[in-house]
Chains A and B, each alone.
Chain A
């Protein structure tokens, strides 16, 4: 099953933080309080978009061919993602 990483609290919608990390091999557990990296705060579709963008060497034309969307549709998706990342960065700082 492909589990979705929750980034917002289901109770109050505040941003979640990492409290515990676990090693499956030696069963070591680390407890602390860590912020989620910015990329993990994006949803799965947006993360896939970024991976595809890198794999396409940043070419929106190649991405449009791969996604079978028109060029302006892909450009709009990128612009929306840039806007979201800028907003998240502002919230962090």
Chain B
């Protein structure tokens, strides 16, 4: 695994998307919070989650390089584990500091601790699990989508339901996208005997799982309009595009045989879907 590959697997885009999600979480729960606290949460929450997101993707990297047979300096689980430890520890210490100094709610700290425990335990016990591709997709998706819960928790412990729905939509979008993208490398992975999600859970079955996820995404995106989102009109404008995009994606997922031919434009549709998701979550907070 080379540096370029490592960076590719660390997915810096997810770190950026992650901090966008934190911002969205903060903006969508800000009305009962003072502007001083909102400003602090933005200044503190964004970089903190940036570190957490990096930690998550480092965990993913550990999972991935654990399956590789080749050896080189970069492929070193201990070294990456150490970097993970340092990055996560910084975010954890900062969390403690801010909770004490700014008396942010403790739940944000507990959440960071739980994420840390989950990552460490999963690396420790599930690194060689045969179905670890499931875990990889979960962590990758969380690295992006969990930001919204984190952002909301910084503001309040009374998290509105639409925040969970936003999270669900974002999480499943990333998950579904990753499943579909896996088909691109299906042939190579079979040769390498790597255990990607479609291989582990079945090629046809994975496509069905992705389809179900996409249906849930559509439902999760529609419901917030009816449950007190800040600006339903502006959210609606962007949501219409999202529903159309995910409607098309789900139809294609249902109809196409991705095992025979991977369709590149599906990936583009997902990217467009993610863009409109982020846009509508922001517009909804206006």
Q: Is B a genuine binding partner of A? A: no
Q: Which residues of B does A touch, CB under 8 Å? A: none
